[in-house]
């Protein structure tokens, strides 16, 4: 692979993506009645744990790894949803398909987190910007 002048051979452009509140966001996307409502994905029982909290729930101090009892104390109107990992896996695969359009190498860490090697994409963008500058055109680079 050729390298741009300001990127030494062997150096890569790696980005880290971590989708915040992923499980809760998927649940809110799938069930419109949950939108705008404080949602926790996890067990609602006395020994339950919050796996993910929506942004609405976070405003009350609810966060992942919190006991469901403590979460309910902080936010009495909290709606608990049982995890549906098959759904999260399917959504994660859809998102990964998007990553594959832009990254030459993807290192998934979990359903909602990955490292992407965007060295080639970065180089294409940089070359395109240099060419536009050389031609005297002002335009932002768009991948599509």
- The C-alpha atoms of residue 65 and residue 28 are separated, in whole angstroms, by 20
Compute the C-alpha angle 115/91/54, nearest 5°.
85
DSSP structure class, residue 80: E
Annotated catalytic residue, options 27, 77, 100, 113: 113
Q: The sheet that has 105-110: what strands, in order across it?
A: 14-18, 113-117, 105-110
CA dihedral 127, 129, 133, 135 (to 10 degrees): 70
The phi and psi torsions of 14 (rounded to 5 degrees) equal -115, 135
Q: Is 113 a catalytic residue?
A: yes
Q: Are strands 14-18 and 50-53 parallel, antiparallel or unpaired?
A: unpaired
**Which residues are marked as active site?**
113
């Amino acid at each position: 692979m050729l390298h741009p002048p300001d990127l030494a051979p062997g150096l890569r452009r790696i980005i880290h993506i971590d989708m915040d509140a992923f499980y809760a966001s998927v649940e809110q996307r799938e069930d419109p009645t949950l939108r705008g409502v404080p949602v926790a994905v996890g067990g609602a029982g006395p020994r339950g744990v919050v796996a993910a909290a929506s942004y609405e729930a976070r405003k009350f101090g609810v966060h992942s790894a919190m006991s469901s009892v403590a979460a309910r104390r902080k936010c009495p109107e909290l709606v608990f949803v049982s995890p549906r990992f098959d759904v999260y896996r399917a959504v994660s695969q859809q998102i990964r398909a998007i990553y594959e359009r832009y990254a030459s190498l993807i290192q998934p860490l979990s359903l909602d987190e990955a490292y992407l090697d965007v060295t080639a994409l970065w180089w294409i963008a940089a070359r395109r910007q240099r060419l536009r500058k050389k031609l005297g055109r002002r335009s932002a680079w768009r991948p599509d």
